[in-house]
Each structure stands twice: as structure tokens, then as C-alpha cells.
A = this chain, B = another copy of it.
């Protein structure tokens, strides 16, 4: 059996940075350390943090005063920061610089009276934090169809969740042009995401099965699965080695492997070892 890894695999820059910051805090901080939701959308990494003493809280109310909190790589909202300040929490903000950029652009567009269209997943923390950053008319679009009902606006600013697909984003922009006099589009999709998606797409045309390794909650991982499936190749999304099924493979198969941006190398290695164990 032949296994080919995607050229773009493992932690992205933003995740790597967030994980490093969190690990340092967990080693050096003497008091209790809380994480506000998932630092990154990978269960194994979150389990590792918990083993090292981190506690997970899903809102600020749960956290005792004066504690240390580490906030998500996907960003924290201004209202959460305000609440944290009221409770005198020591905030370690691990926001990815690319996500921060989207928040800044959103703020700029709001200040300049653009109607803001955000291409993203309504329930994703990155989008929730952006919506909380701007205090004005804005709409989150999950797919082109959501645009049908949109009214005409003199000026529209368009931004995207960092992990969206560039071609889908282009389609959104295509339909928006007739709804406005000025369409100002910021390409806020992170370049590493675009590269990772392109590599997965390229690989999926050369293999018999694609394995996408990453958290079930991870937006960028789900997008990789979607891209490979759209290419027509048999694709399995697994979070853990235990989910692997012997019957997915055949000895003569070429297996392609890619991962979400928050999947650690050790999980990828474990998956490869398991397949090798079966088929070598």
C-alpha cells in the first residue's frame, strides 16, 4: 500500500502559536488556568491541556474572580473581554493574527458605514466574535442562496471567515455586485487555508481513498472533507486512530492523507502507523 501525505499538513501558523502560548502558561502559572471554550478545535490537544491542569469554561460566569484565562485562537468577543475585566481575570489572548485582521477590517467597514456581509458559519466562534465586534447592520451568509433575499445597499463590505474556500467566496462576490453601487471585498481567507485546500484537491485526484484527520468541530477540516468528496474520491473524516476501519482499504490502494490546521503531528503519525500495521 502506498501512502501519500498532502504537501500542507499539520498545525498552521496560528494554531502552533496558540498551542505554544497555552503550554507556556500552563507550565509557568501557579494559579488555576481556565480556557474559554476550545482553544483550538482538536479534542486530543484539548485533552492534553486538561491533563496538564487546564480547566474548560464555556462562559465567563463559570470562572472564579482573579483567575487566568486563555482565550481561543478563533478570537474573543469585546463583550467577553468586558466581562473578564469586571471579574479581574488575567486574559491570555491567543487570537490568530489572521482572525484578528478580519475583526479589524469589520470594525473599519462598520465605522465607514458599509453594510457588512460576512461569509461564514453563523455558529462558529470566529464569526460570533466578529458580530460582537461590530455594532451595526451586518449579515452572515453561509451559502450563495442566502443572498437571494438581500436588499440593495449603497455600499457593501464583504469579508470572510479565514477558513472558507476562495471559490465559494468568489461566487458570493459575483452575486453581490448587483446589490450595490460599491462592493469592497477583503480577501480575509488565510493563505495557508487556500494552499492546504489546493494541496488536498490535487492529492485527491491521485489516490483511491482520502483520509482527512481532524476535529469534528473544526470548520477547516470539514471544508477539506467537502473538497475531496466534491472531487469524487472516497473520503473518510476521522478524529482519532480508533475510528479507522480495516475494510476501507485494499492492499493495492494508494491512500492520501491530509489534516485540519489544528491536528497535531502525533495524531497523523498514529494513523499512519495503524494503517502500516494492517497493510505491511
Could you list which residues of chain A lie within 8 angstroms of chain B, going by C-beta atoms?
166, 169-170, 173-174, 177-178, 180-187
Contact = CB atoms under 8 A, between A and B. Distances in A.
Contacts of A169: 177
A181 B104 CA distance: 14
A177 B184 contact: no
Contacts of A173: 173-174, 177, 183
Nearest to A185: B183
A204 B178 CA distance: 23
25 contacts: A166-B177, A166-B178, A169-B177, A170-B174, A170-B177, A173-B173, A173-B174, A173-B177, A173-B183, A174-B174, A177-B185, A177-B187, A178-B187, A180-B187, A181-B186, A181-B187, A182-B184, A182-B185, A182-B186, A182-B187, A183-B184, A183-B185, A183-B187, A184-B184, A184-B185
Contacts of A185: 177, 182-185
Nearest to A169: B177
Most B-side CB within 10 Å, residue of A177, A180, A183, A184? A177
Contacts of A184: 182-185
A13 to B, nearest CB: 17
A155 to B, nearest CB: 10
Nearest to A180: B187
Contacts of A182: 184-187
